[in-house]
A and B are shown apart, each in its own frame.
Chain A
């Protein structure tokens, strides 16, 4: 199956700093990538949809100025958590779909465990 690589897998940062998470589709192109957040023992919550070459679409309640998304190419989307606070500590996961394959499953990255201290 298609491979999505997410980096870093773990990151610890100080409160007030920014953290960038990368999501790459390794063997396919993706015009759309999705960013999710998952708190302990809870399910995945869609944060935003990342569209190549255009602005991301954010879900209600997600601050676009805090969670900056850039989808500069067909294989790379980045999520930057700006001015991170301890409450931003969570598991962040990206997913991507094959171009033109609207009805196939999404392929997930390995996830990034963010801890803000």
Chain B
């Protein structure tokens, strides 16, 4: 089975840095994705890691350690519009390369 864990909720201050962690135990692995989802909307792609290390993309960075089954999403210079749910998803690498999602972390940015 697939087990992907994230904190349920986090709160951070505008302008600050926040790190959202994700741990996973899956039957296979072929990449880890982070998506942002605003309430009632579809997820939008943020980042993709398949090798160990840090991927930086503007204010967002994502880190992966395959040996530890661990990833984090780092958001810098937080803005109010960053308030959303952040979903960690793992591609299992079997069959159709399905994406399995974690429970999502609801981030609230406060002034």
Contact = CB atoms under 8 A, between A and B. Distances in A.
Interface string B37-54: 000111111001010000
B42 A103 contact: no
Nearest to A45: B101
A104 B33 CA distance: 10
B98 A49 contact: yes
B100 interface: yes
Contacts of B97: 97, 102-103
B98 to A, nearest CB: 6
Given A32-B96, A93-B42, A103 B31 contact: yes
B95 A43 contact: no
A67 interface: no
A34 B40 contact: no
Interface stretch (A11-19, A68-76, A77-85, A108-116): A108-116
- Give the one of B43, B89, B97 with max A CB within 10 A: B43
B29 to A, nearest CB: 12
Given A42-B103, A108-B43, A108-B44, 13 more contacts: A34-B98, A43-B104, A44-B87, A44-B89, A45-B101, A46-B99, A49-B96, A49-B98, A57-B96, A91-B40, A97-B97, A103-B97, A106-B99
17 contacts: A34-B98, A43-B101, A43-B103, A44-B89, A46-B98, A46-B100, A46-B101, A49-B98, A91-B40, A93-B43, A95-B99, A97-B97, A102-B97, A105-B33, A108-B44, A110-B41, A111-B41
